[in-house]
Amino acid sequence: MVTIEKVEAGAAAARAMPRLPRRIKDDALRLLALRLRERAPELFEANEADVAAARASGASEAILTRLVYDGKKLEESIAMIDAVSRLPDPSGRTLESRRLDDGLVLRRVSCPIGLIALIFESRPDALVQMAALAVKSGDAIIVKGGREAERTNRALAAIVAAAGVDAGLPSGWLVQLETRSEVARLLALDGLVDLVIPRGSNEFVRHIMETSRIPVLGHAGGVCHVYVHGDADIAMAVAMVVDSKAQYPAACNAVEVLLVDEAAARSALPELVGALERADVALELCPRSMAVVGPGPTRAIKDDDDWSVEYLSLRMAVRVVGSLDEAIAHINRYGSGHTDAIVCSSGEAAARFMAEVDSTSVYRNASTRFADGYRYGLGAEVGISTGKLHARGPMGLEGLQTYKWLLEGEGHIVSEYSSGARRFIHEDLAVGKGGIHG
């Protein structure tokens, strides 16, 4: 099939998906888990071929680790599918209801967005996660994975798509694209595709945002901060900063800039810097922080004002700030609005930090690495949105829904209200019963 035919099949499936009752969607999830286990041998074979090819082409250990789809990853996928199947149906829920007048009742009801294109990087388990969320949300999806995982993704997509169809989903509910030129053609089909969610390098995400007229949700940068307040518990600050940076430095929620209040600089900076260096983190220090800790083999003076660098590696910037206000202003100016944390004892400082930092996730005394759909209890995530519209932060089932307004009358017409013959009563009704299916 050429790309336009695949996308049209997806759009047709998207029109049929909202009709599906929860039973069929949960059956599809169960069958999907069953088929993945049944056909594990061919999955593992495809994955071993991908891993061997990547190793032969000199891929790093980090890439190889992400690429592996083995028995452990399979069991994680199956546990995730099971968790998603047990979540309530996000679609067809009455979100608000109002009696406008006698016999005239308005409801706002959740429904799937439609056809969503998911363009992701090397991890093949992401495909299963996105497919499970799409089944439950009632959205049709187009998936395009990384080239390194080509064989694994092809096997996974075939198994997953067929399991869904066998359980009663419309054919076309999961469409796979395989080449970059297919993605380029897809991005021009703004009449058919409702949303693009890209995961990958910042350049790639920005390129998609700039070239397509289809709405894009995702993030083009994770410049996260930890701010150590003057009254912070230093041992807590050290553990949090090391975890935020070194636990998995390639993640978008890893911290890039450490801000230390001048009230804590003398007491906390030496321990912070020492612990980071023991975790192999190289540091770019502002002159004031360098003056406190002195030079060292992996310490350099940060000699520019570019505080928006996303290192994504064992490297970070350190800056002394004069106050809570200065910390908040720094984060709102140089950050990417992803995830930022304060370490402090004072409730007042925390409350101001949490109210005034304009990011998707704002933390008090917790590692920035918690910013993740699974850790938030959303079951899984299709990505993290740093936009302010629609979905913000980890996007799970709720981020995959929109809503429509349903109005049921008895022949009500507007001219009676314009003339003053009738007046609106606008009585809010209890919600929770009755969805889109009547």
Choose which of 350, 382, 395, 397 interacts with a copy of itself (CB under 8 A): 350
Contact 298, 274 (CB under 8 A): no
Closest separation between CB of residue 368 and a copy of itself, Å?
9
Identity of the residue, 273 or 343, whose beta carbon is nearer to a copy of itself in the bound complex: 343
Closest separation between CB of residue 397 and a copy of itself, Å?
12
Closest separation between CB of residue 45 and a copy of itself, Å?
29
Which residue in the block uniquely carries the two structure tokens 């993030």?
A: 219
How many residues interact with a copy of itself (rule CB under 8 A)? Answer: 78
Contact 142, 116 (CB under 8 A): yes
Choose which of 171, 202, 247, 313 interacts with a copy of itself (CB under 8 A): 247
Choose which of 172, 360, 382, 396 interacts with a copy of itself (CB under 8 A): 360
Query: Which helix or strand (DSSP H or E) is residue 384 part of?
Result: strand 383-385
Identity of the residue, 270 or 434, whose beta carbon is nearer to a copy of itself in the bound complex: 434
Which residues inside 185-204 make contact with a copy of itself, applying CB under 8 A? 194-195
DSSP for 182-233? HHHHHTT-TTT--EEEE-S-HHHHHHHHHH-SS-B-S-S---EEEEE-TT--
Residue 364 contacts a copy of itself per CB under 8 A? yes
Query: Which helix or strand (DSSP H or E) is residue 158 part of?
Result: helix 150-166
Closest separation between CB of residue 251 and a copy of itself, Å?
10
Closest separation between CB of residue 312 and a copy of itself, Å?
16
Contact 229, 343 (CB under 8 A): yes
Identity of the residue, 157 or 238, whose beta carbon is nearer to a copy of itself in the bound complex: 238
Which residues inside 370-429 make contact with a copy of itself, applying CB under 8 A? 370-371, 375-377, 387-390, 392-394, 402-415, 417-418, 424, 426, 428
In the 8-state DSSP scheme, what is residue 144?
A: E
Closest separation between CB of residue 35 and a copy of itself, Å?
28
Residues in contact with a copy of itself, shown as a per-residue x/- string from 54 to 93 under the rule CB under 8 A: ----------------------------------------
Closest separation between CB of residue 60 and a copy of itself, Å?
20
In the 8-state DSSP scheme, what is residue 19?
A: G
- From 40-48, 280-288, 316-324, 348-356, span contacting a copy of itself (CB under 8 A): 348-356
C-alpha to C-alpha distance for 170 and 190, rounded to whole angstroms: 22
| Burial annotation 350-359 (CB, 10 A radius, 16+ → b, else e) | beebeeebeb
What six digits make up the tokens of 194? 């409702």
Choose which of 53, 312, 366, 431 interacts with a copy of itself (CB under 8 A): 366
Identity of the residue, 282 or 417, whose beta carbon is nearer to a copy of itself in the bound complex: 417
Comparing CA positions, the residue from 313, 258, 315, 314 lying closest to residue 288 is 258
C-alpha to C-alpha distance for 159 and 157, rounded to whole angstroms: 6
Residues in contact with a copy of itself, shown as a per-residue x/- string from 105 to 144 under the rule CB under 8 A: -x------xx------------------------------
Identity of the residue, 25 or 35, whose beta carbon is nearer to a copy of itself in the bound complex: 25
Residues in contact with a copy of itself, shown as a per-residue x/- string from 248 to 287 under the rule CB under 8 A: x---------------------------------------
Q: Give the count of beta carbons closer than 10 Å to the beta carbon of residue 394.
A: 25
Provide the CA 174 distance to its chain's centre, in angstroms: 20
Closest separation between CB of residue 189 and a copy of itself, Å?
15
φ/ψ (deg, to 5) at 305: -105, 20
Which contacts of 351-354 are long-range, i.e. CB under 8 A and separated by 24 or more positions? 352/324, 352/328, 353/227, 353/324, 353/327, 353/328
C-alpha to C-alpha distance for 98 and 32, rounded to whole angstroms: 40
Q: For CA atoms 189, 192, 198, 202, give the dihedral sign.
A: positive
Q: For CA atoms 422, 427, 428, 431, give the dihedral sign.
A: negative
Closest separation between CB of residue 370 and a copy of itself, Å?
6
Identity of the residue, 301 or 407, whose beta carbon is nearer to a copy of itself in the bound complex: 407
In the 8-state DSSP scheme, what is residue 242?
A: H
Which residues inside 12-51 make contact with a copy of itself, applying CB under 8 A? 15, 18-19
Identity of the residue, 64 or 83, whose beta carbon is nearer to a copy of itself in the bound complex: 83
Which residue in the block uniquely carries the two structure tokens 């071929």?
A: 49
Choose which of 40, 239, 282, 431 interacts with a copy of itself (CB under 8 A): 239
- From 28-36, 117-125, 281-289, 352-360, span contacting a copy of itself (CB under 8 A): 352-360
Choose which of 213, 231, 298, 306 interacts with a copy of itself (CB under 8 A): 213
What six digits make up the tokens of 128? 């299963």
In the 8-state DSSP scheme, what is residue 379?
A: S
